[in-house]
Each structure stands twice: as C-alpha cells, then as structure tokens.
C-alpha cells in the first residue's frame, strides 16, 4: 500500500532541482515547513536519505536521491498522462501545463494569454518559464515545459513549430537621432551610426545577418540581454537598435521617448508561434492551449506585438 502522494513527489522534485527548500517553496507556492515535512515523510517511507543537509549550501541530493529524482519525474509524467487521457475521454480539459516564453516578449504576451486561458479552462494548472531561445530548446527536450511561445529562429528538426504571427523588424532611435525623421530606414543608412545590440542567443545572429547581406559590419557600441535596458540605452543616445517587438507605448522604461522606424530592404521578418515536441499535441491540454492562442490572436491581435 502506497503511503506517499504525487504532491509529495512534486515537492521532492522541486527541491531536488532548486537545491533549496526556500527556492522550491517559491516555485510551487507552498510554505517551506510543508515541503520539509513532505521530504521527511518520503525519506521515512523509502527508508533512505534523499538529501545531504549542508547548512551553509542548503541541500544536495544523495546518491540514492539522484536515482529517485529521475524515477519521481517519470511517475509525475505518467500521472499527467493519465489526467490528459481522462480529459480526452470525458471531454473536460484538465491537468498541468508548463508554458515557456521567449524572454524578449514574455512581459507583453504571456501573462495576458495565460490569464485568459486559465479563465477558459479553470481545471488546468498553468506554470510558466521565461527563457532565451537556446534555453527553450533544452527545456522542451527535457520535458520541463510542454510548449513555448517563441520565434522561428534556428529551429531544430526534432521540434515542431506552428506560426501565429509575422513580425517585421524595425529600427529604434532616440528622438534626436539624425534618422528619427525618416518614415523608413535601410540597414545601409543605419550602418553609419553606433548600435545597441540585443545580445541574446540566435537573436543577435539574426540582427547581424542584415548587415552581412550588404557586406557591412555594424558599429556595436553597446550590448545587453535585456529588452528594457536596450530601450533605455537607445533613448539616452547610446545608439540605435533593431527589434521585432514594439512596446505598447513609445517610451523607454525611464520615460524618455523613442522612435520606431520600419526597416526596409532584405530583412526577413520573424514569425512568432508555438514550439513543442513532435508528440506534444497528443495532449488535450496542449491542443487546447494552441487553439486558445490562435483564437486570442484573432480576438485581440496580441497588443504589444504589433510591430
């Protein structure tokens, strides 16, 4: 007879991955004493220590704990599969959904889409992770997320992509920039000025490829991995930048105004869409989320991603 629960296994996995009860508590939104109690009960039930207690460094998995962690993940995945199967049979969408989102537009898209999805499907427990493109590939392959909202950048063959929206690139300049009066601007025109590069995996290669096509090398004066920092650097005159996501208002985080100018020439638009493993759409929860995203695009146009 089993004397442990799926919830206890979930807490065990959270602590094992976080390396700390406090961090795991934040991730699963459960008090630290409750998680500590669950771990103690599991260790008592299994008859072995799952963690080595290190007061200065927190917790580290014991040798047995590392083996049990992988098994616990399999058990939880099978349980989620049973929940999805029950949903298919009953016609009710329920279960857990872990959604990833590219960090460059997560702030303007993911909370809105998540809220409307949870309202439409209250029996789905949604978790979210923001990551860069390289991290998204890894998260999907390790089954730590079920689906991701991202760009069609360097997509590997073992993952499937469904396009939702095409986003053309544009230049961002401060209002005093010599090109700020133009209705459109070319890469050749930008190349005479310093650049603030959004330096994220694959994204930076995409932006720099525009210059390679005209045999030019941009003057990269500043690099940042943060969209908000990039806009503030531009607004304060450190250089222009290029992006595909336009914020809801034309101001940097520090309040200074910005100009967004369409980029013309041989500049490929990026497509934003859903990325998942090749068998992920067999899940009723993932199918419901994909359908919901398509419907939300038609209904709202995804404010903040209007290019």
Question: What pLDDT digit, counting tens, does each position of 265-304 carry?
Answer: 999 999 999 999 887 777 788 999 999 999 988 877 776 6
CA 273 to chain centre: 12
Q: Are residues 143 and 262 in the same domain?
A: no
Last residue of a domain, one of 23, 50, 77: 77
Do β-strands 194-198 and 51-54 pair in parallel, antiparallel, or remain unpaired?
unpaired
Q: Are residues 263 and 178 in the same domain?
A: yes
pLDDT of residue 24: 86
pLDDT of residue 30: 82
Q: Are residues 73 and 13 in the same domain?
A: yes
The CATH number of the domain where 17 resides is what?
1.10.10.10
pLDDT of residue 28: 79
Residues whose CB falls within 8 Å of the CB of residue 23, separated by 6 or more in sequence, listed in order: none
pLDDT beneath 50: ranges in the chain = 307
Question: Is there a domain that residue 306 lies in?
Answer: no
Q: Are residues 204 and 260 in the same domain?
A: yes
How far is Cα 45 from Cα 302, in angstroms, rounded to an integer? 49
Question: What total of structural domains would you count in the chain?
Answer: 3
Residue numbers of the domain that contains 281: 93-165+271-300
The CATH number of the domain where 191 resides is what?
3.40.190.10
Question: Is there a domain that residue 88 lies in?
Answer: no
Query: Residue 277 is inside which H or E element, if any?
Result: strand 270-277
Q: What is the pTM of this model?
A: 0.71
Q: What are the residues facing 173 on neighbouring strands?
A: 259
> What are residue 290's phi and psi, to 5 degrees?
-60, -45
pLDDT of residue 134: 92
């Amino acid at each position: 007879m089993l004397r442990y629960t799926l919830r206890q296994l979930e807490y065990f996995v959270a602590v094992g991955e976080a390396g700390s009860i406090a961090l795991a508590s934040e991730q699963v939104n459960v008090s630290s004493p409750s998680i500590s109690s669950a771990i103690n009960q599991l260790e008592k039930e299994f008859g072995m220590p799952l963690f080595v207690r290190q007061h200065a460094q927190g917790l580290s998995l014991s040798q047995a704990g590392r083996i049990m962690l992988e098994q616990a993940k399999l058990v939880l995945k099978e349980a989620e599969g049973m929940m999805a199967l029950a949903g298919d049979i009953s016609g009710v969408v329920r279960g857990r959904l872990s959604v990833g989102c590219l960090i460059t537009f997560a702030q303007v898209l993911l909370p809105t889409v998540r809220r409307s999805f949870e309202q439409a499907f209250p029996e789905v427990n949604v978790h979210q992770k923001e990551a860069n493109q390289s991290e998204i590939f890894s998260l999907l392959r390790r089954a730590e997320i079920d689906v991701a909202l991202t760009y069609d950048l360097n997509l590997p063959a073992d993952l499937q992509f469904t396009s939702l929206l095409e986003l053309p690139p544009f230049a961002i300049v401060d209002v005093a920039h010599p090109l700020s009066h133009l209705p459109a601007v070319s890469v050749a025109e930008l190349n005479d000025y310093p650049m603030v590069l959004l330096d994220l995996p694959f994204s930076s290669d995409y932006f720099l490829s525009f210059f390679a096509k005209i045999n030019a090398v941009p003057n990269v004066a500043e690099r940042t991995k943060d969209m908000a920092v990039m806009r503030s650097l531009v607004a304060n005159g450190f250089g222009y930048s290029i992006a595909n996501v336009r914020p809801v208002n034309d101001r940097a985080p520090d309040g200074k105004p910005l100009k967004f100018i369409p980029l013309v020439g041989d500049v490929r638009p990026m497509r934003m869409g859903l990325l998942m493993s090749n068998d992920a759409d067999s899940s009723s929860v993932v199918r419901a989320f994909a359908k919901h995203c398509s419907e939300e695009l038609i209904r709202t146009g995804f404010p903040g991603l209007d290019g």
